[in-house]
Copies of this chain bind each other. A is one copy, B any other.
Amino acid sequence: MAGTKTTFHEWSVGQVADRSGVTISALHFYEREGLISSWRNDGNQRRYGRDTLRRLAFIRASQLVGIPLATIKAALEDLPNQRTPREADWARLSSLWKKRLDLQIEQLIRLRDDLTTCIGCGCLSFKRCLLVNPGDQLATEGPGPRRLLPGTPRPDLDEAE
């Protein structure tokens, strides 16, 4: 097979895909978007270095936390450019996400409590309902896509239909 020759810590796109669980098309996409990088071999095929797997792990973990790729990219750009990132570098990045998670959890809990109250009264009224007017914030946000939560709410965590 082409390109299956394994040099010392240098991986083809297929190998990275297998090891990371990230599809090849997503790897191409991430590269286009500047989240990962590669060099080419003589046959113009991508070759990835050791830290690519780390980056991908970080990207996946960040997505789980709900961070958009653009933000993840910005965070990755803070990594040391010349030397290979150390554990401490990754740990520093991850701790950022923890703060976000704490915030998200806090918001969801507040939402749940509000929901409980609202179920109690059965109101769901725009004037009174805590759920619909969470955190004092009314529907006066100007034009543009309406974000229901400060943190980009998108459908999900969803299974049954």
Show the binding face of A for B, using Cβ within 8 Å: 19-23, 26, 53-54, 56-58, 60-61, 63-71, 74, 86-88, 90-91, 94-95, 97-98, 100-105, 107-109, 111-112, 115-116, 118-126, 129, 131-132, 134, 138-141, 146, 148-161
A108 nearest CB neighbor, chain B only: B105
Contact between chains at A158 and B67 (CB < 8 Å): yes
Contact between chains at A122 and B91 (CB < 8 Å): yes
Copies held by the complex: 2
Among B124, B140, B155, point to the contact of A58 (Cβ < 8 A). B124
Contact between chains at B66 and A157 (CB < 8 Å): yes
Cross-chain pairs A/B with CB under 8 angstroms, 24 sampled: A20-B126, A22-B139, A54-B124, A57-B132, A58-B124, A60-B131, A60-B132, A60-B148, A61-B118, A63-B148, A65-B111, A68-B156, A71-B158, A87-B122, A87-B123, A90-B122, A94-B115, A97-B115, A101-B115, A104-B108, A104-B157, A152-B157, A153-B157, A156-B158
Among B26, B61, B66, B91, point to the contact of A158 (Cβ < 8 A). B66
